[in-house]
Amino acid sequence: MKRRSFLKNMTLASVAAPFALNGMNYQGVAKKLFNYSKSAEDRVLVIIRLNGGNDGLNTVIPLDQYENLLLQRPNVIIPQPNIIQVTPEIGFHPVMTGMNTMFNEGTLTIIQNVGYPEQNRSHFRSMDIWSTGMLDVAETRGWLGRYFDGVYPNYPDGYPNATNPDPFAISMGYEVSSTCQGLMANFSHAVSDPYAAVNLVNTGTANDGSYYGSHMEYLSILINQTNQYADTINAAANAGSSLSTLYDTNNPLAMQLRNVAKMISGGLKTKVYILNVDGFDTHDSQVSSTSPITGNHADLLKRLSDAVSAFQNDLGLLGIANRVAGFTFSEFGRQIASNASFGTDHGDAAPMFLFGSCINSGIIGPNPVISNAVNAQDAVPMQIDFRDVYASILKDWFEVPESEIQPLFEQTITYYQVLGACNVGLDELVDERDKGIVYPNPMLNNATVRFKCQSEWVKIELIDSNGRTIKQLYDSNLAQGIHHVPFELHGLKAGNYFVNVNKASGKETIALVKID
Amino acid sequence: MIPDNNVVGEVSTNMDPYIGAWTKEQAAHLLRRSTFGPTFQQITNAVAAGMNATVTNLLQIPATGLPLSYDPNETISTTGSTWINSVYPSDVTSAQLHENARIKSLGAWLMKRINTENTTIAEKMCLFWQNHFAATLAPDARASYTYHTLIRTHALGNFKQFVKDMTIDPTMLLFLNGATNTLYSPNENYAREILELFTIGKGPQIGPGDYTNYTEEDVAAGAKVFTGYIVEGLRSTTLTSVVSTYYDLLHDQTTKQLSVHFGNQTIAANGATEYADYIDLIFQQEQVAHFISTKLYRYFVNYDITTEVQTNVITIMAQTMLDNNYEILPVLQQLFKSQHFYDIAFRGAIIRNPLEVVFGMFNPSQSVPNFSLATNSDMYISMYYYAQTMGQAYGTPPSVAGWIAYYQAPAFSKLWVNSTTIKSRFDLANYITLYTGIPVNGSNFKVDALTLVNGLSAPNNAVAVIDDLCTVFFPKALSVSQKTLLKLILTGGLPDFEWTVDYDAYAADPTNAAVSNPVKSKIEQVLSRIFQMPEFQTI
């Protein structure tokens, strides 16, 4: 509890704040120009909903807690040799090779222990909370719906129009997304097949203020919009292309993401795409009874990891990677202890994945701490509030001013640096993604410094806030490229530190927070 | 656009018996809400019988047939007989083929029941309960059949007993992991959903793990109470049905402690019937009656629960239920005879669910496939898939909470329609009127336009035909211009008497395609238009 309140009140806030030594990063880096899309207008957000409650502990596995995890969930845990080691402290489920590659290439962020206070373990209430971005039961609008309502106040009256010819959001499949529910209507448009031509008949009774009248108006507008939006979606899908060969045609999520890539590359101005993967409610048969690395959860994660990595690959080939970012979420994680049905029951916090070329950091937040006492119903406690993540996405990605974001949420927002790496002006000199980072940050005992260098000598030091060198982390020659150097800080007191990466090509200073 | 919560008007919340006019308007409203689509004859019969007799007639559950084997992959039971007590072959692949064959038969059986329902609430109630105890199909069709039979048995019965029987139903035990919930590893899935979704409902979270009506402690205690039942006979080569069996060794023998919301009561170990003791305790809370009354109200009347409706309607329904020890029938009797139910505000207040769309197109003309058993069954499977494409697969609700249109505020039934599903609705409308119909095995199934028109009050009168079709298909009167447009389609823009001439020629020589086809195609064109009007999408 002590650690949790410390985290909440101070540490993460200071991570999000500008660092005193910022600016030193740019010294001596060769000038280059790159094609950032400065305008948030062109940016697209892809949301992947993992429906049912994803078991975070078998997705992002805290390797330093493995012994206790083995006690708690012996029949579902992934055997250690099979785990993909992402960092010395964190492993992925063995099927997540695609996402592991993304992590190493700097296009995947893991946000650990995401949830909200007083976790509700009902699927439906919890999904409502994640969709509305509010704990208030009276709120019926989605978090994006609220945002869109502010920008397009009379929707759906008068839409589409010349300025906004395309749907604001597209929900792939047969259902609209409750994240986009606005006051009057839902801002998302359900698309199961972007190539389908539509020309629906409309007639209609006027809205006389009755329930019936409201349905008539709703249906009438829906039919008009469907006809008009179908034309633009159709045109974009036909004009767009997909270049990656990594999509698996048997993977429905991959096929949907490929359609998303085509619509984006075809010029559709839709800002948000929402996709859904069902099946994460793994009370039983989460893993096969004969082999814990196979089973329903493995199949689901493989589909997710393969599809997202193929999509990211495609965005790169299409030259639109800097315009697209995405994230995954689930209504809750699952309990730490498994049940006898080779499954896990409803839990609390779980990791989110953020992906895209403009992510800031590899890992946000430390590993959960797993007790060696098996207590029924225990789950991973929340450390990062998803509402803060949503707010940070609005700020970094759609560049909404903080003064407009705060009114959309009920909590006092703590901003994280999530998708700001492309938010430097065209006159800036460095690709933020080439900047060194430390992950996880804040850290407990173990972390990794990631940096880019030429073929040169690299010396890495840990210094405290008074500028004293505490520890030498690395001192050797390295080849050109991106490197990951793990280090340990056992016994060091909590506080603010800096990691200096000294290279002939330039010195980088990275702020670091250590917690107990 | 006026937001729903601003919809105003004088809405009567009086639950006293309705004493106003009893015309086709009121009778059709009752039948549209309690069946999947009445014929014109059923509406006029209800007018003649009066409200009380019609409600009594509706609130009965008639016997129904059995699902029959028809697929060539079914080799254990013979074609035309039922497979519900047939074993499975030992070969795994063959067993799966039998399962597929039986599930198709089960799906066809469910659709046929709706298609041939007559004047009874039975099928609407069964769908209500499928949405309430929203289990998906079991891996053994015999268990799924038992589940659907249990629903039909209790459809208008005692809710408390229904919950008890459902708790140990094999399909439910499999669906919410009751079958693997043992002393050695309690699984909370059923214990949570019985409180949250099946009986008392979840209130606002008022403390850590405290949902007003129950707490996480109650979920954990319930999981222990429910331990000990397992499911036997799945795809068995020897057992002729799937059963749930209690094993005392697997049951948690401790005394279970409930929270303050259940008066801190305890449940002593009581073996195979301990689950019923716990359910009795749950049903001591009057909130259960409020919870299920609210759900019935939303399903049959309107999604909008205003303060007045809460106070004057839901409370009365719940009290009736409590006065009758959780019997469902008296509650519906009272509701369907109330002034509130017939208030004009509720005409068209619900957007049709996909099954109400599919069978709302077929049932008013008594269009029932009449080919071979196999072809009929595959026709029904096609109808099942049409409804699925529109968002409602009968046997597999999307989650344990049922279909979102029944619970997701603020849109509720509006969620049935979006840009994709509205197109599916209109596609089917065209398919079964203007196009070839549903094609199966070389046969085609369309709406029976001639039977429909022959059953109207004055089929050779163009004005009367349009009036009667409006009575059958629309919850409220159309505007004059809308009716004029429909009549224009019927008469092809010619004077009304030309329709009379055409219809009379057909009536005089009904087997002559030269005179029947023009009448048929005109009605089909009108129906195509009707089915694609926003007005038809509501009930």
Token pair of A68 as six digits: 């206790």
Element (H, E) at B340: none
Of A59, A107, A21, A130, the C-alpha closest to A450 is A107
Q: Where in chain A is the domain with CATH 2.60.40.2550?
A: 1-32+437-516
Of A271, A325, A274, the C-alpha closest to A433 is A325
Q: Where in chain A is the domain with CATH 3.40.720?
A: 35-153+173-197+271-310+319-428
Name the domain count of chain B: 3
Element (H, E) at B284: none
Tell me the C-alpha to C-alpha distance, in Å, between residue B118 and each of B43, B61, B114, B130: 11, 11, 9, 20
Task: Give the number of other CB atoms < 10 A from CB of residue B193.
Answer: 22
Q: Is the pLDDT score of B464 beyond 80? A: yes
Q: Going residue by residue through chain A (516 aa), what tens digit of pLDDT does each one get?
A: 232 322 222 233 333 322 222 323 222 222 222 333 345 678 999 999 999 999 999 999 999 999 999 999 999 999 999 999 999 899 999 999 999 999 999 999 999 999 999 899 888 889 889 999 999 888 889 999 999 998 888 888 888 888 888 999 999 987 778 899 888 778 998 888 888 766 676 666 778 889 999 999 999 888 888 888 888 999 999 999 999 999 999 999 999 999 999 999 999 999 999 999 989 999 999 999 999 999 999 999 999 999 999 999 999 999 999 999 999 999 999 999 999 889 999 999 999 999 999 998 789 999 999 999 888 889 999 999 999 999 999 999 998 999 999 999 999 999 998 998 887 654 343 455 577 888 887 788 888 888 888 888 999 999 998 889 999 999 988 888 888 888 888 888 888 899 999 988 888 888 888 877
Domain A35-153+173-197+271-310+319-428: assigned CATH number:
3.40.720
Whether B373 and B251 map to the same domain: the answer is: no
3-state DSSP of A245-284:
CCCCCCCHHHHHHHHHHHHHHCCCCCCEEEEEECCCCCCC
Residue B408 lies in a domain: yes
Q: Please compute Rg for chain A using Cα positions.
A: 23
Q: Are B38 and B366 in contact (CB under 8 A)?
A: no
Tell me the C-alpha to C-alpha distance, in Å, between residue B40 and each of A442, B190, B364, B461: 72, 44, 7, 15
Domain that includes residue B18, residue range: 14-58+304-346
Residue B377 lies in a domain: yes
Do B192 and A216 make contact, defined as CB atoms within 8 angstroms?
no
Q: Give the closest-approach CA distance of A187 to chain B in angstroms.
A: 11
- Distance in angstroms (rounded) separating the CA atoms of residues B390 and A87: 46
Do A219 and B417 make contact, defined as CB atoms within 8 angstroms?
yes
Residue B136 lies in a domain: no
Of B71, B25, B35, B22, the C-alpha closest to B337 is B22
Q: Give the closest-approach CA distance of A413 to chain B in angstroms.
A: 22
Residues of chain A contacting residue B346, judged by C-beta atoms under 8 Å apart: 211
pLDDT > 70 in chain B, percent: 98
Q: Give the closest-approach CA distance of A341 to chain B in angstroms.
A: 6
Q: Are B291 and B196 in contact (CB under 8 A)?
A: no
How is residue B194 annotated by DSSP?
A: I
| Mean pLDDT score, B338-342 | 97
Q: Give the closest-approach CA distance of B180 to chain A in angstroms.
A: 6
- Distance in angstroms (rounded) separating the CA atoms of residues B40 and B295: 29
Q: Are B188 and B220 in contact (CB under 8 A)?
A: yes
3-state DSSP of A472-512:
EEEEEEECCEEEEEEEECCCCCCEEEEEEEEECCCCEEEEE
Which B residues 306-345 touch A at CB under 8 Å? 345
Q: What is the pLDDT of residues B362-374, one digit of tens each?
A: 999 999 999 999 9
Do B9 and A226 make contact, defined as CB atoms within 8 angstroms?
no
Whether B367 and B452 map to the same domain: the answer is: yes
How is residue B511 annotated by DSSP?
A: T
Do A339 and B185 make contact, defined as CB atoms within 8 angstroms?
yes
Whether B341 and B457 map to the same domain: the answer is: no
Which B residues 459-478 touch A at CB under 8 Å? 475-476, 478
Of B358, B364, B366, B365, the C-alpha closest to B391 is B358
Work out whether the CA dihedral A139, A137, A134, B403 comes out positive or negative.
negative
Of A121, A209, A211, the CB nearest to B346: A211
Q: Give the closest-approach CA distance of A179 to chain B in angstroms.
A: 12
Task: Give the number of other CB atoms < 10 A from CB of residue B229.
Answer: 25
Whether B340 and B481 map to the same domain: the answer is: no
Whether B181 and B50 map to the same domain: the answer is: no
Say how many residues make up chain A.
Answer: 516
- Distance in angstroms (rounded) separating the CA atoms of residues A46 and A120: 26
Q: Is the pLDDT score of B6 beyond 50? A: no
Work out whether the CA dihedral B379, B383, B384, B385 comes out positive or negative.
positive
Give the model's confidence band at B435: pLDDT under 50 very low, under 70 low, under 90 confident, else very high: confident
Tell me the C-alpha to C-alpha distance, in Å, between residue A172 and each of A143, A177, A185, A246, A393: 18, 9, 18, 20, 21
- Distance in angstroms (rounded) separating the CA atoms of residues A216 and A198: 20
Whether B531 and B404 map to the same domain: the answer is: yes
Of A190, A200, A377, the CB nearest to B418: A190
Residues sharing a CB contact under 8 Å with residue B149, sequence separation 6 or more, in sequence order: none
Element (H, E) at A173: none
Helix, strand, or coil (residue B135): coil
Of A311, A310, A240, A314, the C-alpha closest to A270 is A240
Q: What is the pLDDT of residues B98-126, one digit of tens each?
A: 999 999 999 999 999 999 999 999 999 99
Angle, alpha carbons B303-A143-A404 (nearest 5°):
130
Whether B198 and B250 map to the same domain: the answer is: yes
- Distance in angstroms (rounded) separating the CA atoms of residues A232 and A251: 26
- Distance in angstroms (rounded) separating the CA atoms of residues A71 and A370: 10
- pLDDT of A38: 46
- pLDDT of B133: 98
Residues of chain B contacting residue A174, judged by C-beta atoms under 8 Å apart: 389, 391, 418, 420-421
Tell me the C-alpha to C-alpha distance, in Å, between residue A192 and each of A221, B388, B483: 19, 14, 34
Last residue of a domain, one of B239, B255, B287: B287
Which value does ipTM take for this structure?
Answer: 0.91
- Distance in angstroms (rounded) separating the CA atoms of residues B341 and B13: 9
Which B residues 150-209 touch A at CB under 8 Å? 176-177, 180, 182, 184-189, 192, 196, 202, 204-205, 207-209
- Distance in angstroms (rounded) separating the CA atoms of residues A313 and A310: 5
Token pair of B472 as six digits: 């059958």
- Distance in angstroms (rounded) separating the CA atoms of residues B184 and B27: 56
- pLDDT of A432: 56
Do B419 and A225 make contact, defined as CB atoms within 8 angstroms?
yes
Q: Give the closest-approach CA distance of B400 to chain A in angstroms.
A: 9
Quick check: A215 contacting B, CB < 8 Å? yes
Token pair of B509 as six digits: 């020589």
- As assigned by CATH, the class of the A1-32+437-516 domain is mainly beta
Among chain A residues, CA nearest to B426: A200
Of B204, B207, B351, the CB nearest to A215: B351
- Distance in angstroms (rounded) separating the CA atoms of residues A440 and A64: 13
Residues of chain B contacting residue A225, judged by C-beta atoms under 8 Å apart: 419
Whether B179 and B282 map to the same domain: the answer is: yes
How is residue B133 annotated by DSSP?
A: S
Q: Residue A169 pairs with which residues in a beta bridge?
A: A188, A272
Describe chain B by its helix, strand, coil percentages, rounded to 5.
55, 5, 40
Q: Is the pLDDT score of B144 beyond 90? A: yes
Element (H, E) at A325: strand A324-330
Whether B378 and B240 map to the same domain: the answer is: no
Residues sharing a CB contact under 8 Å with residue A94, sequence separation 6 or more, in sequence order: A78, A82, A83, A84, A293, A298
Quick check: B529 contacting A, CB < 8 Å? yes
- Distance in angstroms (rounded) separating the CA atoms of residues A357 and A434: 11
Token pair of A432 as six digits: 């933020």
Of A440 and B232, the one with more pLDDT: B232
Q: Residue A293, exposed/middle/buried by CB under 10 A (0-12, 13-18, 19+)?
A: middle
Q: Residue A488 pairs with which residues in a beta bridge?
A: A446
Whether B362 and B466 map to the same domain: the answer is: yes
Q: Are A107 and A357 in contact (CB under 8 A)?
A: yes
Residues of chain A contacting residue B29, judged by C-beta atoms under 8 Å apart: none
Quick check: A377 contacting B, CB < 8 Å? yes
Q: Give the closest-approach CA distance of A118 to chain B in angstroms.
A: 6
Q: How far is CA B284 from the centre of its chain?
A: 28
Q: How far is CA B529 from the centre of its chain?
A: 26
Task: Give the number of other CB atoms < 10 A from CB of residue A388.
Answer: 23
- pLDDT of A251: 96
